[in-house]
Amino acid sequence: MERLVGDRVEEAVDRGPMTAHEPRLTSLLVGTEGVEISLEANALPAVLQEANAHLRANRHDQAKACLDSPAMQPVLQAMASDSSRTDLLYVTAKLYMETEQFQEASEWLQRITTVEAHPIVFADLARCVEQVSGCRSAALGHWRRAHELAPETMAYREAYALCLRDVGHVQESVELCQEGLLLTEDRYTSLLQLIWGMHYVPDTRRADLFLRAKQWAATDPNRHDRTAGHANAPSPSRKLNIGIISGDFKSNSPLSNFDVALSCLDRDAFELVAFSNVDHEDPSTADYRELFDRFENIRGLIGHKVAARVRSLGIDILIAFGGQCQDNRLDVMVLKPAPVQVDWGGLCSLGLTQIDYRITDAVLDPPETQRYHQERLVYIPGGYVVYKPPVTSPPVTPLPARTNGYVTFGAFNNHLKMNAEIVALWSQVLLNTPHSRMLIKTPCAQDPGVRQTLLDRFARQGVEPQRISVSGQCSHYEHLRQLSQVDLLLDTYPFTSYRTALEGLWMGVPTVTLAGETYVSRMGLAILTQLGLGAFVAETPETYVGRACAFAAQWDELAQLREGLRPYLLASSVCDPTHFARGFEGLLRDMWRDWCAGREDKG
């Protein structure tokens, strides 16, 4: 017998003959999430055996050459004339996948689905068509089918939920994750995915997020395995070793909003150490290397090894940046390798008792929200918002409405934030502002499924498609130039803008934002409050629509504001990184003094 195990064909024990009525894959595939297929040894053509042998020896090019050789032609012709041999079809498809020939793999997988429905085939087909098309939406139907065929298999449920979210169906994704939690005891990754998705759902409350965060913390396999004791010298005024652990040491990450402030820290008082979990380093990673006194790459290291390294370097305060986001290393924070541990940039409480503080401000996390945080809230004095203007950018242009004869609204956000509820509010603004247009710019606009989902949401509200323009990724300079074509930005909700709102202000374009209860629904509020532009903040959906319509009618006022926003922004605390740095330093020193005082009390 032969077996395909972990995407390879290997020798296996004969499990007996297949009955005439059994579908080949259903009877021969072993397991529900792995890939194991048994075949009679003489049933596998020599060319496929040779290709597989090359793959097992990591000779990728030779394997691909086998599959592209003339010897494959009779094999392909035989399978094309007899689709009942789904076992051979599947082995062939998997070998094409392993050699990154995804178009060929998808064709044979598709042929299998016409004969036999197996969730593994649909899962592989989802992966292949996404590789071929470059679009997440192309995979959605196949992930749905894999989930329907094996609804209790968490791998398919989570993959389907993630694809739903990425295409823009966040509410459905969250509901699928919630259902999945009832089916498995291993809820660690499922809860993280659920928590992340909940931030995009309009009716999510802080209490909901806190409950889920505590549930997630209780599922961590290392939660009872924290390191005991710390040998750090409890001297309140000495130079401190500050560690930042994150997967965000790269371009266009939330951490890049604060790198200029980190560069302003007093290096006589603080030493900075990065623990980088970046998946693919880019030019910005090299810039971060220069910013830190020490830069440690921890990608692929288990939590205990990273924790041991943190302790060996004598880190006094360890900061996790990014919360529950992808590539987080909260598994290290759970081990408590540093005396003081801090959450910075998390979207909600991490739910971990091992995290001592959360760096924020009183607008994003008002004092009354402390009950929804395991961590102690500490505030950057004067505001949390920092912005580093680009080195080169287009000039601020006159108000486009004066040239166009109509108002152009804009939304330059991730499409995940553009849910049906906020699109309904945008539609009200458009319908109440005669001849107005809307320019939407979102990174995934090239995906036809994402684009159509957005247009359908406007269409259901009665907005004609010609009033909506959708564009995708471009250079940062072009991104700013497109912002200059907009008269007024309409913020998303509940996940409001941060960088987009600041870039809009830099180009003279204010944002109308709707402030909510959660941290992510108050980012626009935090920016506009720190800048004294509270007139653009709405507290209810009705007020949001009303203010957007009112500002859209005030062309003279918008034109005057447009001319003055850039210099106003430059003169503000938002563009003064030393403002954030001094406040950040003060918080770190206060945290350390508290720890030292606690040691004295215990002594």
Please state the rounded mean pLDDT for residues 459-481. 95
> Does residue 27 lie in a domain region?
yes
As a whole number of angstroms, the distance between CA 338 and CA 231 comes to 9
CA 15 to chain centre: 44
Shared domain for 353 and 489, answered yes or no, is no
User: Could you tell me the two tokens for 78?
Assistant: 């035989």
Percentage of the chain exceeding pLDDT 70 = 90
CA gyration radius for the chain?
Answer: 27
* Higher-pLDDT residue of 293, 52: 293
Looking at residue 233, the DSSP 8-state letter turns out to be: -
How far from each other are the two terminal CA atoms of the chain, in whole angstroms?
69
Q: CB-based contacts of 389: which residues, under 8 Å, 6+ apart?
A: 506, 569, 570, 575
CATH of the domain at 80: 1.25.40.10
* Higher-pLDDT residue of 344, 16: 344
Domain boundary among 162, 189, 219: 219
Q: Is the dihedral of CA 401, 406, 407, 413 positive or negative?
A: negative
Shared domain for 165 and 283, answered yes or no, is no
What is the DSSP pairing of strand 2-5 with strand 9-11? antiparallel
CATH of the domain at 293: 3.40.50.11380
Shared domain for 160 and 127, answered yes or no, is yes
Nearest alpha-carbon partner for 91 in 105, 80, 77, 101: 105
Q: How many CA atoms lie within 13 A of 486 on its CB side?
A: 30
3-state secondary structure 265-320: CCCCCEEEEEEECCCCCCHHHHHHHHHCCEEEECCCCCHHHHHHHHHHCCCCEEEE
Residue 592: band (very low, low, confident or very high) from pLDDT cuts 50, 70, 90: very high
3-state secondary structure 324-384: CCCCCCHHHHCCCCCCEEEEECCCCCCCCCCCCEEEECCCCCCHHHHHHCCCEEEECCCCC
- Residue 160 near residue 184 (C-beta atoms within 8 A): no
Shared domain for 345 and 443, answered yes or no, is no
pLDDT digits (tens, 9 = 90+) for 476-523: 999 999 999 999 999 999 999 999 999 999 999 999 999 999 999 999
Helix (H) or strand (E) holding 73: helix 72-81
Q: Pick the range with the lowest mean pLDDT from 78-82, 279-283, 467-471.
A: 78-82
Quote the pLDDT of residue 229: 83
Quote the pLDDT of residue 190: 81
> Does residue 267 lie in a domain region?
yes
User: Could you tell me the two tokens for 505?
Assistant: 């202000």
Quote the pLDDT of residue 79: 83
> Does residue 390 lie in a domain region?
no
Q: CB-based contacts of 228: which residues, under 8 Å, 6+ apart?
A: none
Q: Is the dihedral of CA 105, 106, 108, 113 positive or negative?
A: positive
- Residue 130 near residue 142 (C-beta atoms within 8 A): no
> Does residue 496 lie in a domain region?
yes
> Does residue 597 lie in a domain region?
no
Number of domains observed in the structure of the chain: 3
> Does residue 83 lie in a domain region?
yes
> Does residue 576 lie in a domain region?
no
Quote the pLDDT of residue 12: 31
* Higher-pLDDT residue of 146, 13: 146
Shared domain for 361 and 250, answered yes or no, is yes
Q: CB-based contacts of 410: which residues, under 8 Å, 6+ apart?
A: 438, 439, 440, 441, 483, 485, 486, 487, 488, 489, 490, 504, 509
Helix (H) or strand (E) holding 586: helix 577-602
Residue type for position 391: V
CB atoms within 10 A of CB 20: 5
Quote the pLDDT of residue 3: 40
Quote the pLDDT of residue 17: 35
pLDDT digits (tens, 9 = 90+) for 542-583: 999 999 999 999 999 999 999 999 999 999 999 999 999 999
As a whole number of angstroms, the distance between CA 241 and CA 250 comes to 22
Quote the pLDDT of residue 385: 95
CA 459 to chain centre: 28
Residues listed for the chain: 603
Residue 595: band (very low, low, confident or very high) from pLDDT cuts 50, 70, 90: very high
Residue 16: band (very low, low, confident or very high) from pLDDT cuts 50, 70, 90: very low
Shared domain for 345 and 424, answered yes or no, is no
- Residue 320 near residue 333 (C-beta atoms within 8 A): yes
Shared domain for 331 and 209, answered yes or no, is no
pLDDT digits (tens, 9 = 90+) for 268-282: 999 999 999 998 888
CB atoms within 10 A of CB 184: 14
Please state the rounded mean pLDDT for residues 346-363. 96
> Does residue 332 lie in a domain region?
yes
Residue with tokens 């709102």: 501
Shared domain for 150 and 291, answered yes or no, is no
Residue type for position 249: F
DSSP E strand boundaries for 108-155: none
User: Could you tell me the two tokens for 336?
Assistant: 């408590």
Shared domain for 24 and 148, answered yes or no, is yes
As a whole number of angstroms, the distance between CA 486 and CA 510 comes to 10
Plot region of 327 (φ>0 → left; ψ -120 to 50 → alpha; else → beta): left
Shared domain for 321 and 177, answered yes or no, is no
Using the predicted structure, report yes or no on whether residue 27 has a pLDDT greater than 90.
Answer: no
CA 349 to chain centre: 17
Cα dist from 478 to 67, 395, 554, whole Å:
43, 12, 27
Quote the pLDDT of residue 37: 58
Q: Which domain holds residue 244?
A: 240-379
Cα dist from 84 to 22, 38, 103, 288, 455, whole Å:
11, 16, 21, 56, 42
Q: How many CA atoms lie within 13 A of 98 on its CB side?
A: 31
Using the predicted structure, report yes or no on whether residue 25 has a pLDDT greater than 80.
Answer: no
Residue type for position 254: P
pTM of the model: 0.88
Shared domain for 331 and 369, answered yes or no, is yes
Shared domain for 268 and 324, answered yes or no, is yes
pLDDT digits (tens, 9 = 90+) for 183-240: 765 677 788 889 999 999 999 999 999 999 999 988 876 655 555 689 999 999 999 9
As a whole number of angstroms, the distance between CA 555 and CA 558 comes to 5
